[in-house]
Structure 1
Amino acid sequence: MKTFERDDLLFFRFEALPDNGGVGHAVFSRRGGVSRAPFDSLNMSLSVPDERDRVYANRRRVYGLYGRDTNSVVHAHLVHGADVARVTQADNGAWVEHVDGLITDQPGCVLSMNFADCAPIFLYDPVRHAIGLGHAGWKGTVVDLPGAMVRAMAAQFGSRPADLVAAIGPCIGPCCYEVGEAVIDGVRAAFAAPDELLRQNGRPRPHFDLPEANRRNLYNAGVVHIEHSEFCTACRTDLFFSHRAEKGRTGRFGTVFALL
């Protein structure tokens, strides 16, 4: 990923994804906003007990880079599942209910999601000029949210999986993601060679490799061009919010994927 700074905002872009006059994307750090601790400072979510006015001020800073505000981007009410919604400009300003994936092929549509350990999933089809943005925590991973996004883009836009370019954003890594029986059982049921994803390494409990599991989901769906940020959110709370590392008292960092 490449690092950028503008108007005190620190954000990142994937090398594999375009950022030009037709497509724009960014993963924002937690820096450059106005929220106070423990949501300092670029918290993008009202799902945590931050001050509403500060959250909306943060959103104006982020969406303003794309000439937008909260009422002119598409949001999702995330539920840790595998449902995907096709959206258009008519959905700008809406919160799409009960989905963890948004896809569009309509210019002028801007997708946004917020994170604090779960994996952001970006999909771009340079042939059909379509994009997708998804949210995959462990629950979304074991029910294959990334694969569901690939299949939805194929069904809705005629996308060929081999044409798609994917990117997995900053999320909690296997270095920090100690898991219990619910996750272990889910991973064993969902993946071949699950022990490769449930890393023991002499530790009393396994650690789940969330980014690698989602890379496998994308690859199994036919995607061959996949970039991973390599950032662990729990290791880098100087850059990102982490629900695990900060024991639930934290904010949510933002992502944007725009078809311009």
Structure 2
Amino acid sequence: MRAFDHDGLHYFRFGALPDNGAVRHAVFSRHGGVSAAPFHSLNMSMSVPDERDRVYANRRRVYGLYGRDTDSVVHAHLVHGADVARVTQADNGTWVEHVDGLVTDQPGCVLSMNFADCAPIFLYDPRRRAIGLGHAGWRGTVADLPGAMVRAMTAHFDSDPADLVAAIGPCIGPCCYEVGAEVIDGVRGVFAGAEELLRRAGEQGSRGAGEKNGDRRNFDLPEANRRNLAAAGVRAIETADLCTACRTDLFFSHRAERGRTGRFGTVFALM
């Protein structure tokens, strides 16, 4: 990813995805907003106890880069699942219920989701001019939210998975994501080579607690989602390689900040 600054906003773009007059995207850092600690400063979410006026001021700053506001952007009510909705301009200003993926091929449709450790998933079909934005925590990853997004784009837009370009945004990395039995069992139940995704706490590159937590592992969330995309037939996949828990100077992290934090925003737009 490459970093950009505009009117005090600090954000990132993927090299693999276009950002031009027709298709635009960004992953925003936690900087450039008006929220006070512990949500400082560009908190985009009302799911945390930030002040409403500050959140909406932050949204106006972010969406204003695209000539939009909250009432002209499509949001999702995230539930850590694998359901995907097709949306159009008619959905602008709404929160689509109980989904973790949005897809569209309609110009004028702007997709937005917020994060604080879960993995942002971007999908782009340059042939059909369609886009998708998804949210994959461990539950969505085990349920194959990325694969569900690929299948939705195939069903709705006749996308060929081999044509798709994918990007996985900043999320908690295996260095910091210590997990217990529920996650370990879930990963082992669906992934071939699951042990490669579950480092023992204390292994090189892991910040787990070592021998005292022998029944715990560190889960490689971005790699698991990369494997999901590849299994669905996607060939071009870029990963951000930024751990939100390590980089609380740039991003909000629910894990590292013990739940007292905000949510950083992502935008994917067909203009």
Tell me which interval the TM-score lies in, with the shorter structure as reference length. Answer: over 0.9
Partner of 2:207: none
Partner of 1:85: 85
Partner of 2:140: 140
Partner of 1:227: 238
SS in 2 for 1:124: strand
Partner of 1:73: 73
1:132-172 deviations in whole A, cap 9, x for unaligned?
A: 00000000000000000000000000000000000000000
Partner of 2:248: 237
Partner of 1:164: 164
SS in 2 for 1:127: coil
SS in 1 for 2:30: coil
Partner of 1:113: 113
Q: What is the distance in 2 between the residues matched to 1:28 and 1:13? A: 9
Partner of 2:9: 9
Report the CA distance between 1:105 and its aligned residue: 0.1
Q: What is the distance in 1 between the residues matched to 2:140 and 2:176? A: 19
Amino acid at match of 2:265: G
**Within 5 A, what are the aligned runs for 1:22-101?**
22-101=22-101
TM-score by length of 1: 0.99
Counterpart check, 1:123 vs 2:134: no
Amino acid at match of 1:104: T
Partner of 1:188: 188
1:199-255 deviations in whole A, cap 9, x for unaligned?
A: 115434310000000000000000010000010000000000000000000000000
Amino acid at match of 1:211: P
Q: What is the distance in 2 between the residues matched to 1:235 and 1:69? A: 31
Report the CA distance between 1:190 and its aligned residue: 1.1
Q: What is the distance in 2 between the residues matched to 1:188 and 1:145? A: 17
Partner of 2:224: 213
Amino acid at match of 1:57: A
SS in 2 for 1:211: helix
1:18-39 deviations in whole A, cap 9, x for unaligned?
A: 0001100000000000000000
Partner of 1:256: 267
Greater than 4 Å deviation, 4+ residue runs:
none
1:112-147 deviations in whole A, cap 9, x for unaligned?
A: 000000000000000000000000000000000000
Report the CA distance between 1:14 and its aligned residue: 0.1
SS in 1 for 2:195: helix
Amino acid at match of 1:255: T
Amino acid at match of 1:256: V
Partner of 2:103: 103
Residue identity over aligned pairs, in percent, reads: 81
**Gaps spanning 5+ residues in structure 2: where?**
204-209
TM-score by length of 2: 0.95
Amino acid at match of 1:228: T
Amino acid at match of 1:106: Q
Amino acid at match of 2:269: A
Q: What is the distance in 1 between the residues matched to 2:138 and 2:39? A: 23
SS in 2 for 1:27: strand
SS in 1 for 2:179: coil
Count of residue pairs the alignment pairs up:
260
Task: After superposing the two structures, state which structure 1 stretch, 16-25 or 196-205, moved more.
Answer: 196-205
**Gaps spanning 5+ residues in structure 1: where?**
none
Q: What is the distance in 1 between the residues matched to 2:256 and 2:76? A: 25
Partner of 2:206: none
1:52-90 deviations in whole A, cap 9, x for unaligned?
A: 000000000000000000000000000000000000000
Partner of 2:153: 153
Over the aligned positions, Cα root-mean-square deviation in angstroms equals 0.6
Q: What is the distance in 2 between the residues matched to 1:251 and 1:215? A: 26
SS in 2 for 1:186: helix
